[in-house]
Amino acid sequence: MTQAVVIDKTEDQQTVTLRDVSAADLPEGNVLVDVAYSTLNYKDALAITGASPVVRSFPMVPGIDFAGVVRDSSHADFKAGDKVILNGWGVGEKHWGGLSGQARVSGDWLIPQPAGMTARQAMVIGTAGYTAMLCVLALEEHGVTPDSGEIVVTGAAGGVGSVATMLLAAKGFQVAAVTGRASEADYLKSLGASSIIDREELSGKPRPLAKERWAGAVDVAGSVVLANVIASMKYGGCVAACGLAAGMDLPTSVAPFILRGVTLAGVDSVMAAKAKRIAAYDRLVSDLDLSKLDAIATELALEDVIETAPKFLSGAVRGRIVVPVNPSLDA
């Protein structure tokens, strides 16, 4: 038996409990993993609180990512004892996720834990940091360099924004960090942000075009915030969009795209190909100072996950929340 956070639903009533589950309870899959660390993400918070219909079937164990050690495998790429990472693939939504002592999944969803990175570090980075790396890669693929100009990062105090700020600053970019919490200014500057922008500046009614300010952007917000970012891009700039924290709508016009040649690059971390995932983690190992990850990490016991989830939805979470499930495996 092992403990897991379990979401269930009877008629219109959702319940969430921490309870024992057995290996026999786990869903189908060809790799059984002992989970060392998982995380609490925005999507997990939506699932646990029921604020959005994230969960597709019940019962469900949330946790969209985890790092752990293979206990048993019939998949050709993995054997018992291998250290692995999982991000996305509908885990925690359609398939039981990582907020559990064990997870049984498809080996096609796993990648090897990179050399030089611990399971804890992998989860401090987590899906948020891996997504941030995909955004940085998208900007690079578009030809954005430090000489191109300043990069704006929205939701900068959150998981994606914190890692994106660290990555960009480490590569020599000037980073304008957007936050709705003035109290986070010192934190963001410690990550490498060169300037702080109050979210209210990007929350007004968008104009078709605004003054050119940024060569690139990493956006987790969507909606009005993204529309204002797009309107303020420099000629030929690129926006890597990966979130919808402010909404799914996009009240903009074609003007930035046809008059300034702006590119809106959608970044999806859930279904990304394995080669892209491995490339992203390899870059994270080389580009991030892993010794500084503690600055963005807060540890949370598995038994405290349920009561902490609503804080995500109120914007009260900074950086990354890491959940040590079986930390002794991280040796």
Q: How far apart are CA 228 and CA 178, in angstroms?
A: 12
Q: How far apart are CA 271 and CA 65, in angstroms?
A: 13
283 part of a folded domain: no
If we measure between CA atoms, which residue out of 108, 88, 107 comes closest to residue 44? 88
Q: Are residues 87 and 195 in the same domain?
A: no
For 51, which DSSP code? Answer: S
Q: Are residues 79 and 40 in the same domain?
A: yes
Final residue belonging to a domain, choices 266, 287, 309 = 266
120 part of a folded domain: no
3-state secondary structure 105-170: ECHHHEEECCCCCCHHHHHHHHHHHHHHHHHHHHHHHCCCCHHHCCEEECCCCCHHHHHHHHHHHH
Nearby residues of 282 by Cβ (< 8 Å), 6 or more positions away: 114
Instruction: Work out how many domains the chain is built from and give that number.
Output: 2
Nearby residues of 287 by Cβ (< 8 Å), 6 or more positions away: 133, 167, 170, 171
Q: Are residues 135 and 109 in the same domain?
A: no
Q: Are residues 18 and 146 in the same domain?
A: no
End-to-end CA distance of the chain: 23
Q: How far apart are CA 269 and CA 115, in angstroms?
A: 22
Q: Are residues 172 and 250 in the same domain?
A: yes
CATH number for position 215? 3.40.50.720
Instruction: Look up the domain containing 50 and give its range.
Output: 2-113+300-329
Q: How far apart are CA 81 and CA 98, in angstroms?
A: 18
pLDDT of residue 129: 94
292 part of a folded domain: no
43 part of a folded domain: yes
Task: Specify the 3-state DSSP secondary structure of 219.
Answer: strand
pLDDT of residue 255: 98
Q: Are residues 82 and 207 in the same domain?
A: no
Q: How far apart are CA 223 and CA 252, in angstroms?
A: 9
291 part of a folded domain: no
pLDDT of residue 280: 96
* 144 within 8 A of 175, measured Cβ to Cβ: no
Q: Are residues 246 and 316 in the same domain?
A: no
Q: Are residues 139 and 259 in the same domain?
A: yes
pLDDT of residue 312: 84
Per-residue pLDDT of the chain (331 residues; tens, 9 = 90+): 899 999 999 888 999 999 999 999 999 999 999 999 999 998 999 999 999 889 989 999 999 999 999 999 999 999 999 999 999 999 999 999 999 999 999 999 999 999 999 999 999 999 999 999 999 999 999 999 999 999 999 999 999 999 999 999 999 999 999 999 999 999 999 999 999 999 999 999 999 999 999 999 999 999 999 999 999 999 999 999 999 989 999 999 999 999 999 999 999 999 999 999 999 999 999 999 888 899 899 999 999 999 999 988 887 788 899 999 999 999 7
24 part of a folded domain: yes
CATH number for position 318? 3.90.180.10
Q: For residue 92, with 0-12 CB atoms within 10 Å meaning exposed, 13-18 middle and 19 or more buried, which class applies?
A: buried
pLDDT of residue 11: 81
Q: Are residues 144 and 253 in the same domain?
A: yes
pLDDT of residue 12: 82
For 207, which DSSP code? Answer: P
Q: Are residues 134 and 85 in the same domain?
A: no
pLDDT of residue 268: 96
Q: Are residues 216 and 313 in the same domain?
A: no
pLDDT of residue 1: 87
pLDDT of residue 138: 97
Say what the pTM is.
0.91
Q: What is the CA radius of gyration of the chain?
A: 20
pLDDT of residue 160: 94
Final residue belonging to a domain, choices 266, 291, 321 = 266
286 part of a folded domain: no
Q: Are residues 234 and 163 in the same domain?
A: yes
pLDDT of residue 238: 98
294 part of a folded domain: no
Estimate the crossing angle of helix 119-141 against helix 274-287, to 10 degrees: 100
